[in-house]
Chain A
Amino acid sequence: MTSRRLSEFLPPLAFGLAVLAIWEAGVRLLHVPAIILPPPSAIAARFVTSIPTLAADFRQTIQGVLAGYVIGSLAGFVVAILIDRSHFLQRGLLPIGNLVSALPIVGVAPIMVMWFGFDWQSKAAVVAVMTFFPMLVNTIAGLSSAGAIERDLMKTYGANYWQTLLALRLPVAMPFIFNALKINTTLAMIGAIVAEFFGTPIVGMGFRISTEVGRLQIDMVWATIVVAALTGSLFYALVAGVERRVTFWHASYRAKEA
């Protein structure tokens, strides 16, 4: 097991290190000015010295991310359950949901900043709007994914609507719901950071990026991007970990165990 894990992790690790090494060497040998591309070592140094600032930015942004993520995903889920019994509403809402998922929703950021002010509440609102539709569409798709045989079985048991929902359809919908939750982690980070480009108190990752770009402190920009990348990946990994716990029965995990 350990050797298999090692052989799985080694190539990407080597590739990542190689990229960093080429980056460092290239910047140094070609004398690329630090305003264009600072070497990784400079970014790391900057990261270490500005941990307090980065931590403050992180705290500011993560509030909007988490609040919006929870509100948006929960609202999408609840609406999907509410309209589950009405085929009429579903047929009306699904095309809209699919359409909206292709739209540049981040554009609502300036509107939300006007409505909810500069602080994290407006970022949470943008994130909530962005995460609502993926959850709605995926939950509806998931709820309709239970097979006819299983539904018939529930009927022969004399199960009512709610029993069927809880015992059969929701568990079957879980992979779809987690798919939406995973998509939403990225959307939430993007929404919060872009919303900060439109106005924010003087703290936050999006604010840091746009101001430090203006001051040509590119190493600080990269340090913030490292934080954003780590946060995004950890957030995703967390949701994926919960998914593995909840949908352990799903074929994609069973195959790996075997």
Chain B
Amino acid sequence: MKSALPLTTVVLALIGVWYLAAALMNASLQRDQFANAGRTDYSTQDLVGASLNMERPKLPAPHQVASELYKLVFATSPTSKRSLVYHGLITLEETLIGFAIGSALGIGLAVLIVSMRWLERSMMPWIVASQTVPIIALAPMIVVILNQFNVTGIAPKAAIAAYLSFFPVTVGMVKGFRSPDPLQLDLMRTYSATRAQTFMKLRAPASAPFFFASMKIGAAAALVGAVVAEVTKSEDGGLGARLLAGSYYGQTVQIWAALFAAAALSATLVGAIGFAGRLTQRRMALS
């Protein structure tokens, strides 16, 4: 809790900067609106006040985003198509399904790679290289391909989420299974442990910190995948669809609200994984 005070200060400062930026960026737009309405007798105070409460500002002020968030999260019924809870749940569902599949496959492949040397030598360079490739470029195509097989709705987006979380999890887990040092591996050998025993009693527990680190990256990547996939196929809803709809109709406040909802979702997921990680490590007496 040592960082509570600095953190609050920085957050408050950021909100201050945001207000300033909103006033500066919207002022010219608001001046035009006053001119169109034939008003010339406005003071600077009027201008600033109006700039911070425009309907379609260039940059909505924090309180506008907050009230929009409140309206769309709490004051709208969760079944309504305007509710961010409704869209957030769609995104969350895609993310979780994709993340579960992607991380399961990633861990499975990591186990295979660690236990078979030829697999590592032939596949690992490709998996590492795949990290440098903008995989997300494939998202629109995967949606279309799956569409050809009549796979619609949540499945294609979950597939992209799975795909994006797969690679970081594989790389992280291979590192984790590799993390025991030669001394410990030698010890297992002197115990004449089998490969399976070495894996279960040494490699798997040793990979715990890597596991939670890769789960965090994987979950965040899965959410990005789900949101981007929703942009390419926006008719089924989701936070990405709200982003796209907002950008079509110039509803900046709506874009920011959707953005903050996605951020909150991601932070919650990553935070929950981090919490589980700390609990586990405490029980394993690692920290």
Contact = CB atoms under 8 A, between A and B. Distances in A.
Interface stretch (A47-55, A149-157, A216-224): A216-224
A232 B58 contact: no
B250 interface: yes
Contacts of A113: 247
A190 B148 contact: no
A95 B58 CA distance: 28
Contacts of A89: 6, 10
Interface in A2-17: 11-12, 14-16
Contacts of B262: 103-104, 107
Contacts of A110: 243-244, 246-247, 255
Contacts of A99: 267
Interface string A216-239: 101001101100110011011100
Nearest to A103: B263
A89 B5 CA distance: 10
Nearest to B149: A36
Contacts of A37: 145
A14 B119 CA distance: 11
Interface string A17-58: 000000000000000010111000000000000000000000
A18 B270 CA distance: 38
Contacts of B125: 12
Contacts of A228: 133-134, 137
B121 interface: yes
A229 B11 CA distance: 38
Contact of B121 (A12, A109, A210): A12
Contact of A91 (B7, B123, B239): B7
B65 to A, nearest CB: 12
Contacts, number: 157
A186 interface: yes
Nearest to B135: A190
B141 interface: yes
Interface residues of B, number: 60
A205 B137 contact: yes
B104 interface: no
Given A104-B224, A106-B227, A194-B228, A186 B247 contact: no
B132 A235 contact: yes
Chain B binding surface, main DSSP class: helix
Contact of A225 (B11, B14, B121, B138): B138
Interface in B190-247: 216, 220, 223-224, 227-228, 231-232, 239-240, 243-244, 246-247
A185 B31 CA distance: 41
A249 interface: no
A74 interface: no
A104 B141 contact: no
Contact of B134 (A35, A94, A101, A189): A189
A107 B133 CA distance: 20
B9 interface: yes
Contacts of B126: 12, 15-16
Interchain residue pairs A-B with the least CB separation, the first 5: A92-B10, A110-B247, A92-B6, A15-B122, A236-B132
Interface of B: 2-3, 6-11, 14, 25, 58-59, 118, 121-126, 129, 131-138, 140-141, 143-145, 148-149, 216, 220, 223-224, 227-228, 231-232, 239-240, 243-244, 246-247, 250, 252, 255-256, 258-259, 262-263, 266-267, 270
30 contacts: A12-B122, A15-B123, A36-B148, A36-B149, A91-B2, A95-B7, A101-B220, A102-B216, A103-B220, A104-B223, A106-B224, A106-B228, A107-B239, A107-B240, A107-B243, A107-B262, A110-B244, A110-B246, A110-B247, A115-B58, A193-B136, A193-B137, A197-B228, A197-B232, A205-B137, A209-B137, A213-B140, A213-B141, A224-B137, A229-B134
